[in-house]
């Protein structure tokens, strides 16, 4: 019995996600070159970085969809870098993921997409799951009439929101958002930002988001990490983003073409 | 001397897999004088080496693909036995394969039976063995043509559909999305298709057998002027239980191969629309070839 408090405090100390030296190559191309990052329980981290710097690859590596070539990934202290089968499935139950391209199941109606984790993962009855799905759709600003449409009948922004609803419907402990507000109008983008904040604050979820939208990043992030050339060149609290003292971060957040980050373009 | 000839070919081979421990430079110059080993000029030798390494590469690619496929099959079969089972999906695939393939398989069967009757009539009447037509039709249909033609038609219909569907799901990250929703893609996508393919093809072939024999009957009775009851009698007379069963066992194997090829190529497709297209082609071609090869092997086992 005396052990209990100790175990509790230990558990509090273990970061929810711990990356150490994660590397990923695609052929000769180095995409991730030693990523170290600890994400605490209930924390919201936003990863920023240029297009094609490997942000999506990083999220997929943590999920085990892409096998990193080096380094370790720990979820709740458990090394999940190379697990498979049942263990992987169990680890996955903690996650919700919004894919950059939404990745909706186009053979299923919208509500079944949203309720998928409930029906298949948690074996919930279909009627009950549908209710939950419609409620979650409401939270992302989609009416119940959308529930019976198919993904191909939705606009890009609506698909994105359905993907978001699917990611949060099971109330996962860890949620990944790959560009949640891309393709949305400014008002809806703000609604989604609020929703993400709500997920983290109310449900106590740990969130890892990718965004190019600095307004969104400022709103949802506790900490911001910048990925450049396969490394996290700056990690800091959101309040420090404006005086980070890092010329790369400055250039990025102000969206300037001139600066240390040179875009690989040629005149045409 | 034998080793010396082989030496340079390996050394110059640029495929990383097959390079054995390279001889150190000193042993190279000692043991293998590069241009005086009977192979003629350096150019010719380079050609020969390229040829060898091309063979090696092709062999390795083949072995790799075979191993990959074996692993895929093994994983899928292991998941067939372990819960959870997606009965809803198994049912849906069964309807898709079994029910919706009926028209095309039935049409194939009826025309095959009709052609068989016509052909064997024109052939057998040369030595007045017309009475054997009924037997020829029923044996050819149940033992060979039913399973093979149904298999090939279903390979085109279902194998292609499976590869295209799974391939599209793969390239649009839907397969990855499945894993993030605690659903194993093998269980959810591959297993229902394998089960449906293996169980539905025998049923399809049984139907095809009946329709095919009926086609033969139609031609024999209404075109060639056979007596209806004696044709039916002849049909039954020499038909053995084993003829039908062997056809159904073949059908089950073909069904498994069709689903396996569709799933394997779809599941492992890469790239975009082009990758899905390639997967579809590969699924149909490989399933068709495997059906023909398997058909020979199974016939050998059954009737040797
Ligand atoms: N499956 C793959 N095979 C080969 N290269 C890949 C693969 N996936 C990603 N890459 C490469 O990895 C790099 C990073 O890709 P990623 O999708 O992570 O970019 P990103 O940071 O998410 O960009 P964006 O902001 O545009 O989404 C890209 O240069 C891409 O070419
Ligand atoms: Mg991305």
Chain B interface includes A10 (CB < 8 A)? no
A264 lines ligand 1 (CB under 6 A): no
**Which one, of B88, B184, B210, B104, lies nearest residue B151 by Cα?**
B104
Interface test with A, best of B168, B180, B185 (most A CBs within 10 A): B180
**Size of the A and B interface in Cβ pairs below 8 Å:** 57
Which residue's entry shows tokens 């039709």? B137
Q: For the whole prediction, is pTM greater than 0.80?
A: yes
Q: Which residues 159-178 in chain A show a CB within 8 A of chain B?
A: 166, 170
* Confidence bin at A12 (pLDDT 50/70/90): low
Q: Quick check: is A148 in a domain? A: no
pLDDT tens digit at each of 304 positions of chain B: 344 444 443 434 444 444 444 444 444 444 444 444 555 677 888 888 888 899 999 999 999 989 999 999 999 999 888 888 888 899 999 999 999 999 999 999 999 999 999 999 888 888 877 788 889 899 999 999 999 999 999 999 999 999 999 999 999 999 999 988 888 899 999 999 999 999 999 999 999 999 999 999 999 999 988 888 988 998 888 888 989 999 999 999 999 999 999 999 999 998 888 999 999 999 999 999 999 999 999 999 987 7
Q: Where are the domains of chain B?
A: 2-68, 83-303
Q: Please tell me the total count of domains within chain A.
A: 1
DSSP symbol at B83: S
Does B180 contact A96 at a Cβ distance shorter than 8 Å? Answer: yes
pLDDT surpassing 70 at residue A199: yes
Please tell me the predicted confidence (pLDDT) of residue B38.
Answer: 52
Please tell me the predicted confidence (pLDDT) of residue A92.
Answer: 85
Burial of A171 (0-12, 13-18, 19+ CB in 10 A): middle
A155 lines ligand 1 (CB under 6 A): no
Contacts of A45 (CB under 8 A, 6+ apart): A37, A39, A207, A208, A209, A221, A222, A223, A224, A225
A182 lines ligand 1 (CB under 6 A): no
pLDDT tens readout for residues A105-158: 999 999 999 999 898 878 888 899 999 999 999 888 888 999 999 999 998 888
Chain A CA closest to residue B88? A120
The percent helix, strand, coil of chain B (3-state, each to 5) is 85, 0, 15
Please tell me the predicted confidence (pLDDT) of residue A9.
Answer: 46
Which residue's CA is the nearest one to ligand 1's atom 28?
A52
Structure tokens at B68: 């990959």
pLDDT tens readout for residues B107-163: 999 999 999 999 998 888 888 777 888 898 999 999 999 999 999 999 999 999 999
CB < 8 Å to A104, chain B: 174, 177
- Phi, psi values for residue A208, rounded to 5°: -130, 115
Please tell me the predicted confidence (pLDDT) of residue B263.
Answer: 95
DSSP symbol at A137: H
Report the distance separating Cα B111 and Cα A258, nearest Å. 73
Nearest Cβ partner of A103 from B84, B176, B184? B176
Q: Quick check: is A171 in a domain? A: no
Ligand 1 probe mutation, A31, A51, A102, most atoms within 8 A of CB: A31
Chain B CA closest to residue A114? B181
CATH code of the domain in which A76 resides: 3.40.50.300
Please tell me the predicted confidence (pLDDT) of residue B63.
Answer: 92
* CA angle (A41, A43, A45) in 5-degree steps: 130
Q: Quick check: is A227 in a domain? A: yes
Does A106 contact B174 at a Cβ distance shorter than 8 Å? Answer: yes
Report the distance separating Cα A175 and Cα A62, nearest Å. 12
Please tell me the predicted confidence (pLDDT) of residue A11.
Answer: 54
Q: Quick check: is A256 in a domain? A: yes
Nearest Cβ partner of B172 from A103, A116, A120? A103
Chain B interface includes A217 (CB < 8 A)? no
Interface test with B, best of A105, A125, A151 (most B CBs within 10 A): A105
Residue percentage of chain B with pLDDT more than 70: 87
pLDDT tens readout for residues A168-186: 888 898 999 999 888 888 8
ipTM over 0.95 threshold: no
Q: Work out which ligand 1 atom sits closest to the CA atom of A54.
A: 18
Judged by DSSP in three states, A210 sits in: strand
* Mean pLDDT estimate for chain A: 86
Q: Which ligand is nearest to the CA of A211?
A: 1
A31 lines ligand 1 (CB under 6 A): yes
Please tell me the predicted confidence (pLDDT) of residue B238.
Answer: 86
Q: Which ligand is nearest to the CA of B176?
A: 1
Q: Quick check: is A237 in a domain? A: yes
Q: Quick check: is A182 in a domain? A: no
Chain B interface includes A114 (CB < 8 A)? no
Laid out side by side, the sheet with A70-75 consists of A29-39, A17-26, A70-75, A78-79
DSSP symbol at A146: G
């Amino acid at each position: 019995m005396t052990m209990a408090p100790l175990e509790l405090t230990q558990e509090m100390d273990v970061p929810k996600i711990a990356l150490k030296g994660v590397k990923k190559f695609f052929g000769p191309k180095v995409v991730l070159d030693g990523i170290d990052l600890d994400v605490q329980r209930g924390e919201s981290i936003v990863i920023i970085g240029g297009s094609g710097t490997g942000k999506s690859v990083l999220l997929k590596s943590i999920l085990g969809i892409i096998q990193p070539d080096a380094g370790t990934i720990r979820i709740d202290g458990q090394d999940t870098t190379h697990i498979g089968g049942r263990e992987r499935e169990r680890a996955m139950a903690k996650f919700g993921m919004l894919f950059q391209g939404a990745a909706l199941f186009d053979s299923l109606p919208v509500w079944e997409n949203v309720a998928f984790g409930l029906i298949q993962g948690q074996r919930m009855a279909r009627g009950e799951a549908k209710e939950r799905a419609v409620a979650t759709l409401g939270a992302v600003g989609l009416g119940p009439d959308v529930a019976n449409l198919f993904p191909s009948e939705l606009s890009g922004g609506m698909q994105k929101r359905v993907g978001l609803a699917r990611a949060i419907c099971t109330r996962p402990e860890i949620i990944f958002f790959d560009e949640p507000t891309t393709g949305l109008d400014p008002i809806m983008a703000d609604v989604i930002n609020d929703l993400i904040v709500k997920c983290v604050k109310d449900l106590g979820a740990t969130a890892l988001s990718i965004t190019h939208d600095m307004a969104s990043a400022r709103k949802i992030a506790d900490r911001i990490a910048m990925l450049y050339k396969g490394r996290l060149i700056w990690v800091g609290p959101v309040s420090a983003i404006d005086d980070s003292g890092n010329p790369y971060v400055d250039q990025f957040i102000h969206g300037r073409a001139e600066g240390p980050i040179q875009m690989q373009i040629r005149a045409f | 001397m034998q080793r010396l000839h082989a030496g340079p070919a390996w050394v110059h081979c640029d495929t990383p897999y097959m390079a054995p421990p390279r001889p150190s430079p000193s042993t190279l110059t000692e043991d293998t004088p590069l241009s005086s080993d009977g192979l003629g000029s350096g150019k010719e030798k380079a050609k020969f080496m390229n040829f060898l390494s091309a063979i090696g590469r092709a062999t390795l690619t083949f072995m790799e693909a075979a191993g990959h496929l074996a692993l895929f099959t093994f994983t899928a079969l292991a998941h067939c036995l372990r819960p959870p089972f997606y009965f809803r999906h198994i049912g849906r695939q069964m309807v898709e394969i079994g029910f919706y393939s009926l028209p095309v398989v039935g049409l194939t069967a009826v025309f095959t039976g009709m052609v068989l009757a016509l052909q064997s009539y024109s052939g057998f009447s040369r030595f007045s063995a017309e009475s054997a037509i009924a037997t020829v039709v029923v044996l050819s249909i149940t033992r060979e043509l039913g399973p093979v033609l149904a298999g090939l038609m279903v390979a085109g219909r279902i194998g292609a559909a499976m590869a295209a569907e799974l391939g599209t799901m793969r390239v649009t990250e839907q397969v990855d999305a499945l894993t993030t929703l605690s659903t194993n893609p093998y269980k959810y996508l591959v297993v229902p298709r394998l089960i449906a393919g293996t169980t539905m093809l025998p049923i399809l072939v049984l139907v095809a057998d009946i329709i095919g024999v009926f086609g033969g009957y139609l031609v024999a009775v209404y075109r060639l002027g056979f007596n209806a009851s004696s044709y039916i009698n002849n049909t039954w007379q020499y038909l053995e239980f084993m003829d039908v069963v062997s056809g159904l066992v073949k059908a089950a194997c073909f069904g498994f191969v069709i689903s396996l090829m569709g799933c394997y190529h779809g599941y492992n497709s890469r790239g975009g629309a082009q990758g899905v297209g390639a997967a579809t082609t590969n699924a149909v071609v490989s399933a068709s070839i495997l059906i023909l090869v398997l058909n020979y092997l199974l016939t050998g086992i059954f009737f040797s």
